[in-house]
Each structure stands twice: as structure tokens, then as C-alpha cells.
């Protein structure tokens, strides 16, 4: 049985990972008590006693946790932003294939992608790799997320009695165009320039819809919307990320359609002139905890969907 420790188990991401793993018979979960969970020496003991450590912590605590590991054999799955573009770390989105899949299967240091970044990268990386859009493209992206994406603090804010009435409506943020996911969005897609990125947090617990708009002129010479669809169809055959030719609900796309699930739907709307590339998933599923558990399954060499809700 693999020994697994979740550092930050009491948080939003950690709790969802714990729920996905607690009934598994191939895993022994190492746990700390409420009194011990933030004690550095207790955490260090667990981090060096396990085979796999999930880090579900703020960035600084993740960096600290990695520094506490002396046992070389420990595989680290970090859900924070701290190591996603760091040298020596694999980027945990195996559906991108090639070195991404191998990095997760063989790596000892694996960064779980950011929630918004997951959708953008799923939509754009295969198109750049296939030459359907040039690396020099200037793209834009908007992404609607549930408030659990902001962790315990934002959940408390949205669920408080007598909260600010401004929370009733969707709120755009990342207004200075310096959102923390931009770095990985550029690095992993291979774009020369980071996109213009407009995240929007809304009054629902979890779910996401990430959209990248494209004009036909944005495609490489001679390429069409049909080529984009064929590329996704070839790359995203499931079981976790799947191309869906028609994913709308009678003309609407709900950001909550995959709430509670660990899968991701990829679709293309619009027409031959103006198209929207769309990824739908749960920010806590393929956007965080589900993606982390999928990576764990690949590390352990078991069915990648083990314990996932698809």
C-alpha cells in the first residue's frame, strides 16, 4: 500500500483530495491531528514517512514543505502556484501527451495546474503544437469560476450572513493583467506572449467555464474551424478530458454543469468566421483536487480514473 500524506488536508483542495482517497484500499493515508497539522516538526515527520505527499497549502508553505523533505524517494504533488514553471518540476496535465504524460508518470516533483490555467492550456497548447495557431498569436481568455476557487477565505466571505450585496453579481478580477496563472499559461502553451486574461468569480460554489475567442484570421494559413475541432477530437478522447461536439443546454452553457465532477469538456462554438473555444469543468475537480488524484494514479501506475467522479 502506498503511504500518502496530504499537507493542508483541512483546506478546500486538501479536503476534496481526502474525500477522493479515504475509501481506497491501495492507499494508507497518513494524518496529523488538528493540534499537529501546522506544527513544522510533525509535518516534516510525515513528509519523510510517506511515498507520496500532496501539498495543499499557500505558496510559501509549499516551498517550506519541499525544503523539509530529506527522503529522496518521496513523490510530491503540489497544488499551489509555487512550482508550476520551476525547473525540475513536471506540469501535471497528462492529456497534453508526450513529455507531459511521461513527466507525471516518472517525475518525483509534479505541479498540479492552476484552475483557470487548466482550461486555457487544454484549449491552446494542442493548437500551437499542431501549427493551427502560431506561437506568435495574441490571444484573450475569459474564465468564470465558482467562489471555492478562492479557498476557505473566499468561501467564508461568500457564505457569511449579511455579506456585501456586490457579491450577488459576478465580479471580474485580475484587473491589472498580472494574474498568477499567466506565467504557466504562456510557458506551457509555448506562446510568445501571455494572453489578455479576464477571470470572473461568481456566486456559486464550484464550476468553471473558460473561453478563448478566435477569428478565422487567427488560424494559420489554410486552417479552419473544422481543423480545430479535429485536433481536439484526436487529442481529447477521455476518460477525463473529452471533446464534445455539442455541449450546450439549448443555447446556454452553464459554468456549473460539471460541478462535483473531475472531468473536463472541450467544445467549439461559433461559426467559421468567429469561434469560441470552450473548456468546462469544476475548479475543485480537473481544476485542482481531481487533477491531483489523477496524477497520483499515474504515479502509482493504476487506472488514471481510480477514485475520480467522471
Ligand X SMILES: CC(=O)N[C@@H](CCC(=O)OP(=O)(O)O)C(=O)O
Q: Which of 102, 106, 138, 152 binds ligand NDP (CB under 6 A)?
A: 152
Q: Rule CB under 6 A: say whether 130 interacts with ligand NDP.
A: no
Q: Which listed option, ligand NDP, ligand X, none, makes contact with residue 199 (CB within 5 to 8 Å by class)?
A: ligand X
Q: State which residue has the least CB distance to ligand X.
A: 149
CB of 115 to ligand NDP, least distance (A): 4
Catalytic residue among 56, 115, 198, 231: 115
Across the chain, the runs of DSSP E, i.e. the strands, are 2-7, 27-30, 52-55, 75-78, 90-91, 109-111, 140-146, 171-172, 196-202, 208-215, 241-243, 264-270, 274-281
CB of 180 to ligand X, least distance (A): 6
Closer of 154 and 244 to ligand X (Cβ): 154
Other C-beta atoms lying within 10 Å of the C-beta of residue 262: 27
CB of 83 to ligand NDP, least distance (A): 10
Q: Rule CB under 6 A: say whether 8 interacts with ligand NDP.
A: yes
Length of the chain measured in residues: 310
Closer of 201 and 257 to ligand X (Cβ): 201
Q: Which listed option, ligand X, ligand NDP, none, makes contact with residue 56 (CB within 5 to 8 Å by class)?
A: ligand NDP
Closer of 257 and 288 to ligand NDP (Cβ): 288
| Residue found by looking up cell 469538456 in the block | 265
Of 197, 217, 195, give the one whose Cα is nearest residue 133: 217
CB of 57 to ligand NDP, least distance (A): 5
Contact (Cβ atoms closer than 8 angstroms) between residue 74 and residue 53: yes
Of 123, 121, 284, 116, give the one whose Cα is nearest residue 207: 284
Q: State which residue has the least CB distance to ligand NDP.
A: 11
Q: Are strands 171-172 and 196-202 parallel, antiparallel or unpaired?
A: antiparallel
Q: Which listed option, ligand NDP, ligand X, none, makes contact with residue 180 (CB within 5 to 8 Å by class)?
A: ligand X
Of 291, 309, 289, 306, give the one whose Cα is nearest residue 25: 306
CA triple 227-232-237, angle to 5 deg = 140
| Residue found by looking up cell 484500499 in the block | 25
**Catalytic annotation on 115?**
yes
- Grid cell for residue 45: 515527520
Q: Rule CB under 6 A: say whether 149 interacts with ligand NDP.
A: yes
CB of 288 to ligand NDP, least distance (A): 3
Q: Which of 4, 5, 6, 13 binds ligand NDP (CB under 6 A)?
A: 13
HSE-up (13 A, CA, CB side) for residue 209: 17
Contact (Cβ atoms closer than 8 angstroms) between residue 11 and residue 57: yes
Q: Enumerate binding residues for ligand X (CB under 6 A).
A: 79-81, 114-115, 145, 149-150, 154, 180-181, 199, 201
Q: Rule CB under 6 A: say whether 211 interacts with ligand NDP.
A: no
Which residues are catalytically annotated?
Answer: 115
Contacts to ligand NDP by CB under 6 A: 8, 10-14, 37-38, 56-59, 61, 79-81, 114-115, 148-149, 151-152, 283-284, 287-288
Amino acid at each position: 500500500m502506498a503511504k500518502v500524506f496530504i499537507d493542508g488536508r483541512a483546506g478546500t483542495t486538501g479536503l476534496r483530495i481526502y474525500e477522493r482517497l479515504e475509501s481506497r484500499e491501495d492507499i494508507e493515508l497518513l494524518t496529523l491531528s488538528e493540534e499537529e497539522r501546522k506544527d513544522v516538526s510533525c509535518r516534516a515527520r510525515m513528509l519523510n514517512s510517506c511515498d507520496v505527499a500532496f501539498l495543499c497549502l499557500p505558496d510559501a508553505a509549499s516551498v517550506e514543505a519541499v525544503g523539509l523533505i530529506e527522503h529522496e524517494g518521496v513523490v510530491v504533488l503540489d497544488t499551489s502556484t509555487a512550482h508550476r514553471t520551476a525547473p525540475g518540476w513536471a506540469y501535471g496535465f497528462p492529456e497534453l501527451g508526450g513529455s507531459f504524460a511521461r513527466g507525471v508518470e516518472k517525475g518525483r516533483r509534479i505541479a498540479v495546474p492552476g484552475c483557470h490555467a487548466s482550461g486555457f492550456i487544454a484549449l491552446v497548447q494542442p493548437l500551437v503544437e499542431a501549427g493551427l495557431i502560431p506561437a506568435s498569436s495574441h490571444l484573450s481568455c475569459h474564465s468564470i469560476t465558482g467562489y471555492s476557487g478562492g479557498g476557505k477565505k473566499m468561501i467564508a466571505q461568500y457564505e457569511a450572513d449579511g455579506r456585501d450585496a456586490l457579491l450577488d453579481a459576478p465580479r471580474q478580477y485580475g484587473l491589472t493583467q498580472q494574474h498568477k496563472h499567466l506565467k504557466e499559461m504562456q510557458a506551457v502553451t509555448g506562446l510568445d506572449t501571455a494572453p489578455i486574461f479576464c477571470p470572473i468569480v461568481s456566486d456559486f460554489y464550484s464550476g468553471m467555464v473558460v473561453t478563448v475567442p478566435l477569428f478565422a484570421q487567427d488560424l494559420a494559413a489554410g486552417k479552419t474551424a473544422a481543423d480545430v475541432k479535429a485536433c481536439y477530437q484526436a487529442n481529447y478522447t477521455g476518460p477525463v478530458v473529452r471533446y464534445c461536439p455539442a455541449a450546450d443546454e439549448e443555447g446556454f452553457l452553464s459554468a456549473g454543469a460539471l460541478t462535483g465532477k473531475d472531468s473536463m469538456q472541450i467544445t467549439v462554438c461559433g461559426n467559421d468566421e468567429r469561434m469560441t473555444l470552450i473548456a468546462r469543468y469544476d475548479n475543485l475537480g480537473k481544476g485542482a483536487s481531481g487533477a491531483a488524484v489523477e496524477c497520483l494514479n499515474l504515479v502509482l501506475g493504476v487506472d488514471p480514473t481510480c477514485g475520480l467522479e467522471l
